[in-house]
Amino acid sequence: MNNLSLYGWNDSLFQLKQTSQYKDLFHGRVSAVNKTNYEVITEGGLVLCELSGNVLYGRPLFELPCTGDWIVFQPFDDNKGVIVDVLPRKHTLCRRKSGTISDRQAIASHVDKAFIVQSLDANFSVRRTERFMVQILEENIQPALILTKSDLEFSRYQVNESLKHIASQMPIFFTSILSPETILPVRKFIKHGESIVFVGSSGVGKSSLINALCERTVFLTAEISKSSGKGRHTSTRREMVLMEDGGILIDTPGIREFGLASDNPEALADIFDVSDFAESCHFENCTHVEEPGCAVVKAVKNGLLEQEVYSSYLKLRKESWHFSTSEHEKRKRDKSFARISDEAKRIKKR
């Protein structure tokens, strides 16, 4: 038996369920997504679920269940079920599906915090941190930066310097799985019943960190399979585990390229230091590129705003703008397509 409140079930989710036409059936939380089924944590234990036709058909890929979703299911046999509904999502971490212009891919839903994990070797990249941070803040998820492998040689001064323009947006932790005292502050930061998703490149130590937080081997990491001679182990699915003193941790496979799925290019000025300067621009609708009297460009020239930060701001803003306009176009196209097919159905019926 599971107590689902440990997995984040609460009154507002209960209220959401009351709006489902299947409100009298059972509910559970998707803990892992496999190729052909879903692992769902329910009051009665783990249930392997498939999708019912009404969930599968007529929904865009993005709306199919992802790890962290709360779903309603019809049980059959022992520990098997059919998902008949997905409760409305909140705080879903998405990214742009690679190879597309404006398709969203859901990484995890109903998450309170997202840990951006980077290792203090060649993987450390301020630009990548900014990219994750923008997407996380857009969903009103609380970001934190976890810098792993602090047992390796690195300059803490240089790292802090390079992060100072975003340090006010999120706490930064330096951790090493070799020193338990560096894990403790991260564990304290996770409140009871909170869901945390871990994101970052492959090999930075996401699964190792989750193991350290749980003080047991929940997930295989590169190290373990190396010793068994099976080569490098890399996580292949998004999977949820419970930390003993509260907290629901969601591990994800390494992400090579994290494309923004952002609807709000305007918000970027606030996230970066840009909006402080922008208040003094000559034109109210200044885009901070080549307008006369642009206080942002002036700040770059005077060295008050770092050139790299400014360039990164422009780049992410352009990407967000591109995504949001193509998504808007796509919605318009889908709507007119739906109209045409409705029309076609009517003509057929006549």
CB 169 within 8 A of CB 42: no
CA 337, 343, 346, 350: dihedral to nearest 10 degrees? -140
If you search the block for the tokens 């060295």, which residue do you land on?
303
Partner touching 141 among ligand GTP, Mg ion, Zn ion, none, CB below 5 to 8 Å by kind: none
CB environment 189-227: b (16+ within 10 A), e (fewer): bbeeebbbbbbbbebbbbbbbbbbbbeeebbbbbeeeee
Residues 226-285 that bind Mg ion (CB under 5 A): 235
Nearer to ligand GTP, 58 or 229 (CB): 229
Residues 114 and 170: their CA atoms lie apart, in Å, by: 10
167 alpha carbon, distance to own chain's centre: 20
296, 299, 305, 309: which one contacts Zn ion (CB under 5 A)?
Answer: 296
Nearer to ligand GTP, 67 or 176 (CB): 176
Contact between 208 and ligand GTP (CB under 6 A)?
Answer: yes
Residues 120-149 that bind ligand GTP (CB under 6 A): 148-149
Contact between 13 and Zn ion (CB under 5 A)?
Answer: no
- The counts of H helices and E strands in the chain are 11, 13
Contact between 221 and ligand GTP (CB under 6 A)?
Answer: yes
Contact between 92 and ligand GTP (CB under 6 A)?
Answer: no
The one-letter code for the residue type at 267 is: A
CB environment 156-170: b (16+ within 10 A), e (fewer): eeebeebbebbeebb
16, 64, 222, 267: which one contacts ligand GTP (CB under 6 A)?
Answer: 222
235, 262, 312, 324: which one contacts ligand GTP (CB under 6 A)?
Answer: 235
59, 61, 98, 151: which one contacts ligand GTP (CB under 6 A)?
Answer: 151
Distances from the Cα of 96 to the Cα of 56, 132, 345, angstroms: 21, 12, 33
Contact between 207 and Mg ion (CB under 5 A)?
Answer: yes
Nearer to ligand GTP, 82 or 255 (CB): 255
Closest separation in Å from C-beta 314 to Zn ion:
11
3-state secondary structure of 167: coil
92, 288, 312, 317: which one contacts Zn ion (CB under 5 A)?
Answer: 288
According to DSSP, residue 6 is labeled G
Contact between 171 and ligand GTP (CB under 6 A)?
Answer: no
Count Cβ atoms below 10 Å from residue 38 Cβ, excluding itself.
Answer: 24
Nearer to ligand GTP, 211 or 324 (CB): 211
129, 142, 207, 312: which one contacts ligand GTP (CB under 6 A)?
Answer: 207
Nearer to ligand GTP, 143 or 205 (CB): 205
Helical packing angle, 206-214 and 180-189, nearest 10°: 80
80, 254, 276, 326: which one contacts ligand GTP (CB under 6 A)?
Answer: 254
Contact between 274 and Zn ion (CB under 5 A)?
Answer: no
Closest separation in Å from C-beta 46 to ligand GTP:
22
Nearer to Mg ion, 31 or 207 (CB): 207
Residues 112 and 253: their CA atoms lie apart, in Å, by: 19
Contact between 294 and Zn ion (CB under 5 A)?
Answer: yes
Helical packing angle, 307-349 and 126-138, nearest 10°: 40
Nearer to Mg ion, 89 or 206 (CB): 206
Closest separation in Å from C-beta 139 to ligand GTP:
21
Name the percent of the chain in helix, strand, coil, to the closest 5: 35, 20, 45
Q: Which of 137, 146, 168 is nearest to 262 (CA)?
A: 137
- Binding residues vs ligand GTP (CB under 6 A): 148-149, 151-152, 176-178, 202-208, 221-223, 234-235, 253-254
- Binding residues vs Zn ion (CB under 5 A): 281, 286, 288, 294, 296
